Chains A and B, each alone.
Chain A
């Protein structure tokens, strides 16, 4: 016989629920970082969004050693930046802003190639009087290049007048990947301010601890930027010397080698299986893991990008495997962003299991394109990878003819074990 729901019981239950609600609300309202400084901060090079260190801690996705592999890649990038600033830039500076370290380089204008309407590479020479403005954006924690950002640059004179404003797309450079463009630098306008607006990237992120990063928009202002014809001529002359690029290219290869060590770690010690193959100007690598959760964009808030951790991957086996694909260039071995692949998985009998289009995923020590999917059973499978050639510009003499064809590669006999990570 059910008991009566008396007023006293209702009051007691209501008090309990109210208390629980208060506790939950308090928990949900805890500021993400109560100590994070807000607003802009003045630096020697100008001013920018107050800097903060994104998470860089041991997690279920990254051991201490694996985090150091990310740092190795970042250190190599830093050395490339230092070399570009010392040997190629007529003007440059760097500062810590937001979750990044942002540097600008003004170099002599660069020729470049990019796919035309018919898909063939078309070479473009710079116009007279142009310089090349490049923005190198690195992760403040590990120093790696941050791909997939939307960067807008404005040149502002001393009176506050905007002389030029444009998006700066990502480009492939033989040394130090940057967001950049050729533009006319108004030499007679005096020292300028380079203002940058960096929107938070909307790609997925691995790692419940370290993946919670890059939520905020970032503003950077490099002030008193002066570019002189004499400085440009000096670096152009140095660049024309035989073997001028060799040292820089070696540094870029160091970055590629550091990435290679991360790949070996993934294939041999972490993933269920992994493999790589060379195809034209590309090296394609594929790895399989068990399904895992990740951060995905979940709209915007007044504070910036909202991220949601997809715990569904932990709560069920609707997806029971995780596919990871990446591309590297054969010149330096560095990661190639901006090439979303298609992967067709075939079973041991050659039957197509499915075709998948993984998303770019930030990873604490090895970026890749990835996704969870469901496979009927564990076993050995073949992966056919296709990716259209990258749409971004290839800058410089060494790169102008690279990536002229799409990537098509096949990696056989990869093991998939179903489950969740």
Chain B
């Protein structure tokens, strides 16, 4: 018996580690169609006192992936994700926003999933540097039944205008905060359990018996190139990826990479409708997702005049 345990222990460890990695991948990558993820944030912020409500929508049209939706494993295909956003210009450089996220999985009702708070700050004036820099920080507080992990995401926004084109780069780093701990035995036999799926939270599942799952940094990238020659219709191309936990980057096939042809439509002053077709490039990505962001900018709702 002792010999059997001695022989099997390393094998079991390897198998458990492999299963754990797969679970991490599944939990990390099998994300809901997070509408808010498919957005390249630009350097420009709303003017002080300007308010911008927006409605974000995404529909996963085709996917082979599963994810955990309120504790149930469901197919991502057919998942719809919605976010209601309200952004406000706190100053000409600094804006804040709040989001309410909703999701419905196939056969299941639409449910509130998370609240998010975001802030953006742009540095300097345009054209002062090679890139116009800004930072974006967002904190996500999911509903407990949906996901135990809270996420902090930070983006560096780098923007450069090249004649009629605009290039925008968003390197992303995220960190997940989770209260869940895995139980471990000396035999290392326990299997991991993936936390409920929020891929963008980056490494949000549990490792076997070693550490808090949510303490890991994850990396990603979003970028876009837009042709801004005309006001009413502006086409662009965007690229997104999620590479998984930093220091333990996932295999390429398990990473999420997507190319997104987009168009911005502005037929009504102040109204911007951003549409895109997200085309997954790796097996770890949804094949096709349609995204839509409809926003309207209210001009200057702060008092303009003061009593003498």
Contact = CB atoms under 8 A, between A and B. Distances in A.
Contacts of A208: 47, 92, 300
Nearest to B110: A9
B13 interface: no
B277 to A, nearest CB: 16
Nearest to A57: B48
Nearest to B55: A20
A8 interface: yes
A161 interface: no
Interface string A1-32: 11110101100110011011001100110111
A203 interface: no
B46 to A, nearest CB: 10
Contacts of A35: 303, 306-307
B164 to A, nearest CB: 5
Contacts of B3: none
Nearest to A10: B110
A357 interface: no
B269 interface: yes
Nearest to B107: A3
Interface string B158-174: 00010110000000000
Nearest to A418: B163
Contacts of A149: none
Interface residues of A, number: 54
A347 interface: no
A362 to B, nearest CB: 14
A311 B307 contact: no
A52 B299 contact: no
A180 interface: no
Interface stretch (A165-173, A315-323, A397-405): A315-323
B305 A99 contact: yes
A59 B91 CA distance: 10
Contact of A12 (B105, B109, B231, B303): B109
A209 B126 contact: no
A314 interface: yes
Contact of B305 (A13, A33, A421): A33
B190 interface: no
Contacts of B266: 312, 315
Interface in A307-341: 308-309, 311-312, 314-318, 320
Contact of A16 (B102, B105, B299): B102
Contacts of A418: 163
Nearest to A4: B107
A53 B229 contact: no
Contacts of B48: 209
A311 B270 CA distance: 7
Interface string A169-203: 00000000000000000000000000000000000
Contacts of B201: none
Nearest to B89: A208
B130 interface: no
A420 B126 contact: yes
Interface in B80-123: 80, 82, 84, 86, 92, 100, 102, 104-112
Question: Which of A12, A59, A96 has the largest number of chain B CB atoms within 10 A?
Answer: A12
B126 A36 contact: no
A310 to B, nearest CB: 8
Nearest to A140: B308
B298 A32 contact: no
B307 A53 contact: yes
Interface string B203-230: 0000000000000000000000000111
A9 B104 contact: yes
A160 B90 CA distance: 50
A318 B229 contact: yes
Question: Which of A2, A33, A208, A316 has the largest number of chain B CB atoms within 10 A?
Answer: A316
Interface in A281-327: 290, 308-309, 311-312, 314-318, 320
A44 interface: no
Interface in B41-65: 44, 47-48, 51, 53, 55, 59
Interface in B251-276: 266, 269-270, 272
A33 B78 contact: no
A54 interface: yes
Contacts of A28: 51, 298, 301
Nearest to B227: A317
A112 B171 CA distance: 68
A34 interface: yes
B44 A314 contact: yes
Contact of B110 (A13, A51, A212, A290): A13
A157 B232 CA distance: 57
Nearest to A99: B305
Interface in A99-130: 99
Contact of B53 (A24, A60, A140, A290): A24
Interface in A211-265: 212-213
B138 interface: no
Interface of A: 1-4, 6, 8-9, 12-13, 16-17, 19-20, 23-24, 27-28, 30-37, 51-55, 59-60, 96, 99, 140, 208-209, 212-213, 290, 308-309, 311-312, 314-318, 320, 418-421
Given A316-B229, A317-B164, 7 more contacts: A1-B78, A3-B105, A12-B112, A23-B53, A33-B306, A311-B269, A317-B228
12 contacts: A3-B106, A16-B84, A17-B55, A17-B84, A20-B84, A24-B298, A36-B305, A37-B307, A51-B308, A52-B306, A290-B127, A309-B300
Q: 8 nearest interchain CB pairs?
A: A316-B231, A9-B110, A33-B303, A52-B305, A212-B304, A27-B51, A3-B106, A8-B109
